[in-house]
Structure 1
């Protein structure tokens, strides 16, 4: 069993008995490797964000939070290739790029067989030109969206005009490889779009953001025809119609 397959199997072994802990010695015997190898694998899982933890002393060992992990997922080679392309398109300037990177590590650790080979092969054939990234701005935007709080930002528009504003984030728009924050602007008292790479500074506030309908904010703008990407349909709640 190669290391990638063993990492995946370790997670499933811990899930099977959760929340009870398992000793390193028991895991080493189960996978017929040394205790040192198991210890190194468990530390690697922890480093990539897998919710494994250790408890010392009598009755202790390694365990996992089953509510924080996914059940076994089997990808076809085509699905694995699609994931590789999608993750490559999530550049450093995209919202939640850091979370996408750790998600990619978890997905890679779960893939075995033909799917793993297909993803690895395609990954060696994708390159990207690096783009400047302001992690502080991106993190502030992510936090404001996640916590539904107002955001204070400095912005430079297409004409080079600079302004400071307080906005209430409503959502994100992606178009032609660029990302825009769609928000209710306190200054304009209207919906506005702010290109993320033109936000020169951003800081979350403690002021709660009022709920705003994304479609309504886009109405009358060049992005009025924007629709939810089909790939996200399974993540969004279904609308109830009467």
Structure 2
């Protein structure tokens, strides 16, 4: 994987990268359930790091199980719906939704096949 430190959990190896993903997933789930927005530190395909202010809609997995995980959200930087690869989210912080931003209605994207 990323060559990071490895830990053991019930005899299975947990990579540092996989362990680091747990905190963003918990923050994302909280933000979705509590109607909060997120500030993400995100690394794009070209390895540029950007900060994104997003309204999270849902997270989902590709098929087959065990493949990539995604966050579907309305990105206020791009002013449109976007999908973010979970493994490229460096950090995320739930924040109270700004009053003027709560009027923005995210576009619904079709469910993945």
More strand by share: 2
Quick one: which of 40, 44, 67 aligns to 1:153? 40
Alignment TM-score, normalising by the size of structure 1: 0.34
Quick one: which of 69, 85, 110 aligns to 1:179? 69
1:129/1:211 CA distance change after superposition, 3 Å: farther
Equivalent residues, number: 93
Quick one: which of 205, 211, 226 aligns to 2:112? 226
More helix by share: 1
Unmatched 5+ residue regions in structure 1?
1-126, 219-223, 228-242
Alignment TM-score, normalising by the size of structure 2: 0.69
Q: CA RMSD in A?
A: 2.4
Deviating runs (4+, > 2 A) in structure 1?
A: 127-133, 208-213
Partner of 1:162: 49
1:151/1:129 CA distance change after superposition, 3 Å: same
CA distance in 2, matches of 1:190, 1:128: 40
Larger gyration radius, structure 1 or structure 2: 1
